[in-house]
Copies of this chain bind each other. A is one copy, B any other.
């Protein structure tokens, strides 16, 4: 159906104007003062869904949460596959005083880029899909059925979408799920992320004496809880950075030679980003794994925070009553957060000295990692769509972070999934001068059309 592609090209200025229109709405979900703006953005989307010919466009909203927009077009018929697309339309806060060159809610086009909060994260994804669907529906319809789920509280913790997904499995039933969020490592390098890590978070507390003591009087005869804490924490890794907890790696899938080769093309991007971002002296970690493998395919244990005693300016000769550390593990697919928490607790109990009281509390329900099938129909469709839309062979990657909604889809819907971002990592998500290249937005529209067209042929 070449008409949809031509239509999109002919309407590129109009599509850009609509993106700019949506970017003007400060739909900041983390600030309750902007709740009405999130609703305005939802209404804008509903209007557009209706206008372009979707047959259902509905806001799901309970009293205490922000709107979730659902839209569908099932005109391809029962024999055609159904695609469920996820994006989010809420944004992070932004003020010009954060270091922006222009007003973050007055979208400004310059050097082929549109600067605005939400430009790359993630309103360009929302509009690209809507405009791809418009292009298809205006040119004889799409060859697959389409369900859209656009979230309004992704930036504020996605508090309600998990419940919504669990309760609406029939509504969300599909043959393929597309999550359009995130970014590719460079403007001209579409990338298929097929792995995300899970997480389990906990707090380790060492209680020593009942109160803060004078270190002159009790140093040497009362076990210092900071000392006990650091000695416990120091037992958790070996000098190679490998976690030493019994059972920690039991369920980790081996990295095959085939997968290692599949991931090789991402290495230079990851290494460049590492040098650009971290400012660290040199890389660190498990020596038998490459840099991108250490975060992509290996679980880790991180110490995210530690505190005890007096840590302001100057000095206090205190022997404190307690010390705590925040600990998290990034988990790879096939690891169970509860099992990991259990083996760590057993390790802590074994090494904890009798002189102090040591407790390990789980802080949140953990999340499993996500591993997507590289041979599924949506993955193949995404590969093909990127190749046609970008004109570049996409590469594969596994990432170290999490996309919680992807984990919820995996857990609740049992449907082949693909991540299909149109932005790039340099787009300044969450920072000042966030922007999207107009060209990437246009390619995103074309790529989405290709995806909808290719999927039914596989």
Contacts and interface: CB of A to CB of B under 8 A. Distances in A.
Interface in A209-223: 209-211, 213-223
Contacts of A218: 274, 277-278, 295, 400
Interface string A306-340: 11111100111111100111101010000000000
A215 B330 contact: yes
Interface in A408-424: none
A309 B326 contact: yes
Contacts of A316: 304-305, 326
A279 B211 contact: yes
B328 A215 contact: yes
A387 interface: no
Interface in A275-302: 277-286, 291, 294-295, 298, 300, 302
A372 to B, nearest CB: 17
Interface stretch (A58-66, A163-171, A225-233): A225-233
Given A216-B400, A227-B237, A303-B224, A280 B201 contact: no
A415 to B, nearest CB: 24
Contacts of A277: 213, 218
Contacts of A356: 280-281
Contacts of A306: 226, 229-230, 306-309, 311, 323
A449 interface: no
A354 interface: yes
A164 B227 CA distance: 39
A235 to B, nearest CB: 8
B222 A284 contact: yes
Contact of A210 (B279, B300, B302, B304): B279
Contacts of A323: 306
Given A278-B218, A284-B221, A199 B317 contact: yes
B231 A234 contact: yes
A376 interface: no
Given A218-B400, A231-B234, A279-B211, A326 B303 contact: no
Contacts of A286: 220
A363 interface: yes
B278 A213 contact: yes
A401 interface: yes
A265 interface: no
Contacts of A280: 208-210, 222-223, 355-356
A241 interface: yes
A250 interface: no
A229 to B, nearest CB: 8
Contacts of A311: 305-307, 324, 326
A254 interface: no
Interface of A: 197, 199, 201, 208-211, 213-224, 226-227, 229-231, 233-234, 237, 241, 274, 277-286, 291, 294-295, 298, 300, 302-311, 314-320, 323-326, 328, 330, 353-357, 363-364, 399-402
Given A216-B400, A222-B280, A226-B233, 7 more contacts: A216-B399, A216-B402, A218-B400, A224-B303, A302-B319, A305-B310, A306-B306
29 contacts: A197-B216, A199-B216, A215-B302, A215-B330, A216-B400, A216-B401, A217-B295, A218-B277, A219-B300, A219-B400, A220-B241, A220-B330, A221-B274, A221-B283, A222-B283, A223-B241, A227-B302, A230-B234, A231-B233, A233-B234, A280-B355, A282-B354, A283-B355, A303-B309, A304-B320, A305-B308, A305-B316, A306-B306, A306-B308
